[in-house]
Amino acid sequence: MVPANDPNTLLTSFLLGLLLAIAIIGSAYLIGYFLLLFYKHRNREKESLESVLLQVALPRDNEIKIDAAEQLFTSLASIRKGGRFSFLKPQPALSFEIVGTAGDIRFYVHTPNSLRDLVEKQIHGAYPDAEIRAIEEKDARRGARGWSLEANIISFQRVQKLLLQAYG
How far is it, in rounded angstroms, from Cα 151 to Cα 137?
A: 12
Model-level pTM?
0.62
How far is it, in rounded angstroms, from Cα 139 to Cα 149?
A: 10
Nearest to 97 by CA among 14, 30, 153: 153
Residue 27 in this model has a pLDDT that exceeds 60: yes
pLDDT band at 136 (very low <50, low <70, confident <90, very high): confident
pLDDT at position 150 = 55
pLDDT at position 144 = 47
- Which amino acid is present at 13? S
53-69 residue pLDDT tens: 999 988 777 777 777 88
Spatial CB neighbours of 3, under 8 Å, sequence gap ≥ 6: 9
Residue 165 in this model has a pLDDT that exceeds 70: no
Residue 44 in this model has a pLDDT that exceeds 70: yes
pLDDT over 70 for what percent of the chain? 77
